[in-house]
A and B are shown apart, each in its own frame.
Chain A
């Protein structure tokens, strides 16, 4: 079996607080929230009338799509995924060949849902007996693999072109799967990412579960409060993140800019056993996922400098901290630095993992920690385990080498990646 080193050579992002990597980097450095009030949610009697959606201008749309592709187009998840994916590809300095496909390049682009508004439009027509009037693109705009299909065609990808789906773990898992494909020599370059559409018809089920905050409709930027004593639920978000992963050999041959290296990672499930369920994690599995990621990456727990957590701002945040602490055997002031992007973006569901991987790689490349916002008082159950000095609340410049990123999802699924600064 071949064993290639895998590096990150391109980034793209479409987040509620910044579209495009430069805007997103500035936003996370400054703790800028992308959470807004949506009158549509109010009109529909949602408890939580706020959320995170990328602000995409018509100019950005026409940069990535032809006028024909935009005719009857209503799949936000594809829009976000394409914008992030093409940005990452171009950022990596990769060319698009209009004639030939590239058998060495593929994509794993994950999805929860991506075209719910298009689906709704179609359902109305179908119920009116007007199926014949759906038009030619309702399949590609509503199928889960729609985003990888659009990207595969736009980029001329000839290796694996597919979509993974594992709820809120999706994005991190896409990066792991793409990493493995390159590591084992089955591809030279993979566009790894994930996307999620948003809005009432995507977020409704979470509102019905009563796990979204309802007291912040008049102060949306304050609503998402990971690790805070007064955290009251996750704020729903949407968007997409994308990373170009590449074998070190290919990156060096091309003279590409290397953002970071992926040392390894692991994914598993708690089987909805022990304390695990459809919606709650089995802590034994979470800890094992982190430990196995370290083993796979060939590093000691003591080497982890920074954690980018899942940390959604629900009552599970302290359990996550406990799992990290026990898995790493580190607590108090010895615990790594930890932050959560969700304070700024909300929980972008299937897109969260990839957007957070982009943020993680930016932190490694530019040697800083983005601030945990809306954290006035650390939850006592968290403060009892780790020192508050490990939870930065302002942008912090830091020289560090190893960042662990994990995501956890409905279905009791887990994924943990180990990123490192690149050292030749």
Chain B
């Protein structure tokens, strides 16, 4: 797992966490909605922030691949490789 992406992604996710979820609880296997309790409508905002931070484009049909932190990192890694 790419640690640099992991670190940047955690910073992107933090503002979207509900107040009662500790940012320290973000782990690679965390499910964004089910574990971190992020409001599902905010997933589109996270995608936009990811696109800006990594200068990549995530297609609408790839959204569902970003269900966990690790899966999101894999997708970002893949996008960066084919950029």
Contacts and interface: CB of A to CB of B under 8 A. Distances in A.
Interface string B11-32: 0000110010000000000000
A67 interface: yes
A135 interface: yes
Interface in B41-61: 41-42, 44-45, 48, 60
A95 interface: no
A71 B15 contact: yes
Contact of A71 (B19, B41, B44, B45): B45
Interface in A68-122: 68, 71-72
A72 B49 CA distance: 12
Contacts of B44: 135-136
12 contacts: A66-B19, A67-B15, A68-B15, A68-B16, A68-B42, A71-B15, A72-B45, A132-B60, A133-B48, A135-B44, A136-B45, A137-B45
Task: Determine chain A's interface SS by DSSP, over half rule.
Answer: loop
Interface string A133-151: 1011100000000000000
Contact of B42 (A66, A67, A133, A136): A136
Contacts of B19: 66
Interface residues on B, range: under 10
A136 B42 CA distance: 6
Contacts of B48: 133, 135
Contacts of A133: 48
Interface in A17-76: 66-68, 71-72
A304 to B, nearest CB: 49
A84 B19 CA distance: 24
Contacts of A72: 45
A32 to B, nearest CB: 38
A132 B43 CA distance: 12
7 cross-chain pairs, A with B, having the tightest CB-CB distances, nearest first: A136-B41, A136-B44, A136-B45, A135-B45, A68-B15, A136-B42, A133-B48
Contacts of A135: 44-45, 48
Interface in A246-264: none
A359 B40 CA distance: 42
Contacts of B60: 132
B19 to A, nearest CB: 7
Nearest to B18: A68
A72 B15 CA distance: 12
A72 B16 CA distance: 12
A193 B41 CA distance: 29
Contacts of A132: 60
A67 B15 CA distance: 7
Given A68-B42, A135-B45, 4 more contacts: A72-B45, A135-B48, A136-B45, A137-B45
Contacts of A68: 15-16, 42
Most chain B CB atoms below 10 A, which of A68, A71, A72: A68
Contacts of B42: 68, 136
B66 to A, nearest CB: 14
Nearest to B43: A136
B8 to A, nearest CB: 17
Nearest to A133: B48
A67 B19 CA distance: 10
Contacts of A136: 41-42, 44-45
B39 to A, nearest CB: 8
Interface in A153-206: none
Nearest to A136: B41
Most chain A CB atoms below 10 A, which of B19, B48, B60: B48
A133 B16 CA distance: 17
Nearest to B51: A133
A71 B16 CA distance: 10
Contacts of B15: 67-68, 71
A68 B19 CA distance: 10
Contacts of A137: 45
Nearest to A70: B15
Contacts of B41: 136
Nearest to A132: B60
